[in-house]
Structure formats: structure tokens, C-alpha cells
Amino acid sequence: MASQPGNVPAASSKVAVSVRGVSKSFGEAGDPRRVVALQEMSVDVPRNQFVCLLGPSGCGKSTLLNIVGGLLEPSRGEVVVNGKTVRGPMPHDIAFVFQENTLLPWSTIVDNLRVGLEFQGVPRREWDARAQASLRAVGMEDFALHYPDQLSVGMKQRIALARALCLETDILLMDEPFAALDEQTRMVLGEDLSVLLHQTTKTIVFVTHSLAEAVFLSDRIFVFTARPGRIKEVVDVDEAHPRHPDFMTSDKFNRLRNRLYALLRDEIRQTVQQTRTVDGAAADVARG
């Protein structure tokens, strides 16, 4: 295992995403309910790596992901993706996979994939080939004509991943996509995702609360502080993809997981205290 402090610059030709001095606040200055989610965050995401954002609840992981994807504007700072400053959604560079699958229930699986291709401006003549190739990549080609309510939760998340893959972007942003799944299904989908990374040249940024998931999937883990979110440490996972299930029972895996827990323990305690303080402030405001 190798670890290093955050905010370490990388050579620009090897960087897919560069976060430069990003801060994000919600609410007006002086309002006791104002939340500073991120503070002066600067970090680089190397190209063709699987990077996990790991930290306590409310530390700004999803906020940062949404800023990178152009769904939120930073209060200060900027994000550069593939050499371009992010000023809004970048559908030709970035695809999202969310915790909720957001599939259209009235459309077949293949039609759900076609919607994304239409939004991206892909010529209609390419839709079917790209959709079928993406379904094959996640093992769901036999369900192209099914409807979402005919599938299990795990199958729906496979479809959500296929929908992102068919856009053929260089970067995937994944916000706790397996959080609603049982542990066994999470493990299987994690193995599949590791294989996918091995077979492609994609850069994946993945938000998770799971220490085991972070170690099993990542090339690099960005460990967040409690709110306001900053990078506390960057932990490298020196293990080739695709990852084998035996990795999860190895001494290396356990050392890495224990290291992450040691880094997060105080941050989690601080988050609990922050929650109590915010709840108290909200009660004071309600009382007038």
C-alpha cells in the first residue's frame, strides 16, 4: 500500500479531471442553516483509473461528483475535464450512474438506452448496435424487450450501467450505484465493474460509504474529511484489474481497509457532532 497527501498535482496529459480550489456552499451568508459542503478542494483524477470518493455522510462526496458532472456550479474554483472547463453538463465526455436507476417504466430496456443516445445526438442508425453492445457488456442482452418492472433491483442497476456505457464517454461518474443492493449482489456487480475497467480505457469516479467496496474496486481512494469536505489523504490500491474475489480475503485487503477506517474514525465522530449542532440550531430558529 502506498498513501500520499491530497492535492498532489499530476502531469496534465495523464489527468482526466482536475479539481482546482473548489468550494461549495448552500444558503446565504449569516443564515444559521447555511452549509459549507466543500472547502478549497484541489485534486486530480488520473486518466483510465478507478477512483473512489470515501468519507462520512454529508462530507460533500456527491456534491463534488455533481460539480464535476456539470450538474452543480461551484461557489469558488473550477473543474477541468479533458482539458475543458466544466460550465454545465458534458454529455459527450461524461455519463452518470445514480443510486436510483431512473429508468422510464413505460419504455422497454432498449428504448431506455435509446433515450440517452438521442439526447447525446447520436445518429439514429447507430442506436441499435450501440444499445445491444452495451447490454452484452453487462450480461443483459436477453432482456432488451423487457420493461423495468419485470427486472430485479440488481438487474435494473445493470441496465443503468449499460445506458451509461452506450454513450461511449471517456468518464463515468457513479453515485453509490449499488447502495440499495444486498451484499452478495454488490460483490458480483463490483467484480463485473472491475472486469469492465480492465477491458476499457474509461475513467471512473465512484462515490461509496463502503470501505470494502472502495478497496475492492479502486486504483485510488480519495478520503474526505468531515464537512466542509477536503481531501484528508489519497490511498493507492496496488492491485491489478480485474480483481478476483480472493483479494477480499487477503492480508493486503485487510490492511487497506483498516487504514481507511483509521483515517475515517475521527471524521465520522466529528460528523455526528455536527449533526447534533445543526439540529440544535434548527430548533432555535423554529422557536424564533
Domain identity same for 200 and 261? yes
Give 250-272 pLDDT, tens digit per residue: 999 999 999 999 999 989 888 88
> Is 197 within the bounds of a domain?
yes
Q: Is the dihedral of CA 173, 175, 180, 182 positive or negative?
A: positive
> Is 100 within the bounds of a domain?
no
pLDDT for 19? 96
pLDDT for 288? 47
pLDDT for 12? 56
d(CA 88, CA 253): 38
Where does 109-178 show beta strands of DSSP type E?
171-175
Domain identity same for 176 and 80? yes
d(CA 28, CA 30): 6
Domain identity same for 190 and 88? yes
Consecutive sets of 10 residues in the chain, 288 residues long: mean pLDDT of each?
A: 42 83 87 86 93 93 96 95 94 88 89 88 89 90 94 89 90 89 82 82 92 94 94 94 91 96 91 66 46
Q: Which of 130, 148, 168 is the last residue of a domain?
A: 168
Q: Which of 168, 184, 217 is the last residue of a domain?
A: 168
Q: Are 80 and 288 in contact (CB under 8 A)?
A: no
Q: Which of 168, 199, 219 is the last residue of a domain?
A: 168
By C-alpha distance, which of 118, 212, 112 is closest to 162? 112
Stated as kind and residue range, the H or E segment containing 25 is: strand 15-26
Burial 210-241 (b: 16+ CB within 10 A, else e): bbbbbbbbbbbbbbbbbbbbbbbbbbebebeb
Domain count, the chain: 2
Domain identity same for 184 and 259? yes
Domain identity same for 235 and 210? yes
Other C-beta atoms lying within 10 Å of the C-beta of residue 194: 21
Domain identity same for 19 and 155? no
Degrees to nearest 5, angle at CA 149 with 148 and 152: 85
pTM equals 0.86
Domain range for residue 213?
A: 2-93+170-287
pLDDT for 100? 77
> Is 109 within the bounds of a domain?
yes
Q: Are 222 and 8 in contact (CB under 8 A)?
A: no
**How many distinct helices (H) and strands (E) make up the chain?**
7, 11
Give 94-134 pLDDT, tens digit per residue: 999 888 778 899 999 999 999 888 888 888 888 989 999 99
> Reduced to 3 states, what is the DSSP secondary structure of residue 239?
coil
pLDDT for 9? 42
For residue 12, the domain's CATH number is 3.40.50.300
> Reduced to 3 states, what is the DSSP secondary structure of residue 130?
helix
